[in-house]
C-alpha cells in the first residue's frame, strides 16, 4: 500500500481564488473604481502567469506575480503602484485554509500517511500559509527548489527524490487538471481531482478520481 500523499497547495489546501479576488478588489478600490469588473483583470493575471511560468528561463514566483499583475492592470487601463504589488503578494502569502482541510490532514496522519505539498511557488511565499493547516507537513516542495513549474514533471521528480519514493508509491490530490492531473497521467500517479469550483472534468487528463474537497479525498484514501 502507498503511504505518501502529496498535495497541490493553492486552491487545494488554501483559498487561492478567494485570495486573488480579494487582492484585486482592494486594488481597484485604491484606484477609485470599486465597481470595476474583476473577471477580465483576473483572467489576464492568470493567463500571463501561466505564460511566464512556461517560458524559460525559470524565474522566482514573486517575479511572476509582479509581472502578471502589471500585465493585468495594464490590460484594464490601470497604472500599477507599489502598494498594488506589495498588497497582493502580502495577501497571497497568508492565505487561509479551506475549512475541510485541517481535519482531513489530521485523519490521514493518524492513518499512517506521510503528507507533503508540491507547489508552484517560492519557499518564503508558501511559509506564511502553512500554520493554518493545523499540522506540520513532512515535506514542502516548491518550484523554487526544483527550478521548474508544474506541469513540468521535473518538479514532481524532485519531490519524489526528496521523499525517497517512486510515482507508484504516492497519491496526489490537486485542484488543477492541466497542472497536476496532466503530470499524474504522464507519470502513472494515482490522483484525486478536487473540484471545489464545479468545473467540468476533461477526459484528456484521466484517469483520476473526482472529489468535492480534500475531506472526500481523505475518506477515499483511508477506506
User: Residue 70's domain spans which residues?
Assistant: 16-92
Which of 45, 70, 92 is the last residue in one of the domains? 92
Please report the beta strands in the chain, taking only residues with DSSP state E, as ranges in sequence order. Answer: 4-7, 114-119, 139-142, 170-174, 190-194, 209-211
Which of 92, 121, 154 is the last residue in one of the domains? 92
| Tens of pLDDT, residues 65-90 | 999 999 999 999 999 999 999 999 99
CATH number at residue 27: 1.10.150
**pTM for this prediction:** 0.96
CA distance 188 to 195: 20
Does position 127 have pLDDT exceeding 90, yes or no? yes
Query: Is 8 in the same domain as 116?
Result: yes
Averaged pLDDT of the chain: 97
Query: Is 105 in the same domain as 79?
Result: no
| Tens of pLDDT, residues 11-68 | 999 999 999 999 999 999 999 999 999 999 999 999 999 999 999 999 999 999 999 9
Domain total of the chain: 2
- Residue 183's pLDDT is what? 98
- Residue 2's pLDDT is what? 62
Query: Is 205 in the same domain as 126?
Result: yes
Closest by alpha carbon to 203, among 223, 180, 182, 179?
182
The answer to whether 221 touches 177, Cβ cutoff 8 Å, is no
CATH number at residue 147: 3.40.50.1000
Amino acid at each position: 500500500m502507498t503511504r505518501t500523499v502529496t498535495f497541490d497547495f493553492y486552491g487545494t489546501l488554501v483559498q487561492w481564488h478567494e485570495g486573488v479576488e480579494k487582492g484585486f478588489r482592494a486594488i481597484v478600490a485604491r484606484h477609485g473604481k470599486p465597481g470595476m469588473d474583476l473577471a477580465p483583470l483576473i483572467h489576464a493575471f492568470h493567463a500571463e502567469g501561466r505564460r511566464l511560468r512556461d517560458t524559460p528561463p525559470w524565474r522566482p514566483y514573486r517575479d511572476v506575480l509582479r509581472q502578471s499583475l502589471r500585465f493585468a492592470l495594464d490590460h484594464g487601463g490601470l497604472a500599477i503602484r507599489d502598494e498594488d504589488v506589495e498588497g497582493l503578494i502580502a495577501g497571497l502569502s497568508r492565505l487561509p485554509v479551506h475549512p475541510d482541510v485541517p481535519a482531513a490532514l489530521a485523519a490521514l496522519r493518524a492513518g499512517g500517511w506521510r503528507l507533503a505539498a508540491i507547489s508552484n511557488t517560492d519557499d518564503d511565499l508558501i511559509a506564511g500559509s502553512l500554520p493554518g493547516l493545523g499540522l506540520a507537513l513532512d515535506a514542502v516542495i516548491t518550484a523554487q527548489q526544483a527550478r521548474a513549474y508544474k506541469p513540468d514533471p521535473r518538479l514532481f521528480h524532485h519531490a519524489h527524490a526528496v521523499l525517497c519514493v517512486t510515482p507508484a508509491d504516492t497519491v496526489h490530490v490537486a485542484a488543477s487538471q492541466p497542472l497536476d492531473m496532466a503530470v499524474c497521467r504522464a507519470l502513472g500517479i494515482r490522483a484525486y481531482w478536487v473540484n471545489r469550483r464545479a468545473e467540468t472534468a476533461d477526459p484528456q487528463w484521466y484517469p483520476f478520481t473526482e472529489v468535492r474537497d480534500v475531506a472526500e479525498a481523505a475518506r477515499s484514501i483511508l477506506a
